[in-house]
Amino acid sequence: MWLGTYERAYPRSRVLVAGLREAGVEVVEHHRPVWERSRHKAGAGFLRPVPLAVTGGRFAGAWAGLAVAAAREGPVDAVVAGYPAQPDAVPAWVVARARRAPLVVDMMISLWDTLAGDRALAGRAAGAALSGVDRVSLRVADLVLADTAAGADWLSARFGVPRERIAVVPVGAEPGAFPPSPLPPGPPAALFYGKLAPLHGLPAVLAAARVPGAPPVRLIGDGQLGDWLAAELARERPAGLTWDRWVPYERLGDEVAAASMCLGVFGTSDKAARVVPNKVWQALAAARPVVTADTPGVREVLRDGESALLVPPGDGAALGAALVRLAGDPALRARLAAAGHDVYTRTGAPRAVAGALLDALTPLTLDA
**The CATH fold of domain 2-172+349-367:** Rossmann fold (3.40.50)
The CATH number given to 190-348 is 3.40.50.2000
Task: Indicate the SS3 state at residue 321.
Answer: helix
Q: Whole-angstrom Cα distance, residue 294 to residue 312? A: 5
pLDDT tens, position by position, for the chain (368 residues)? 999 999 888 899 999 999 999 999 999 999 999 877 655 454 445 556 666 677 788 899 999 999 999 999 999 999 999 999 999 999 999 999 999 999 999 998 888 787 656 555 556 777 787 888 899 999 999 999 999 999 999 999 999 999 999 999 999 999 999 999 999 999 999 999 998 988 999 999 999 999 999 999 999 999 889 999 999 999 999 999 999 999 999 999 999 999 999 999 999 999 999 999 999 999 999 999 999 999 999 999 999 999 999 999 999 999 999 999 999 999 999 999 999 999 999 999 999 999 999 999 998 876 65
**pTM for this one?**
0.92
| Within this chain, domains 2-172+349-367 and 190-348 share the same CATH topology | yes
CA 320 vs CA 190, 206, 294, 316: distances in Å: 11, 9, 15, 6
How is the chain split into domains, by residue range? 2-172+349-367, 190-348
Contact call for residues 254 and 248 (beta carbons, < 8 A):
no
Long-range contacts: 356-359, Cβ < 8 Å, 24+?
356/167, 356/168, 356/169, 356/170, 357/16, 357/19, 357/20, 357/104, 357/145, 357/167, 357/169, 358/20, 358/23, 358/25, 359/167
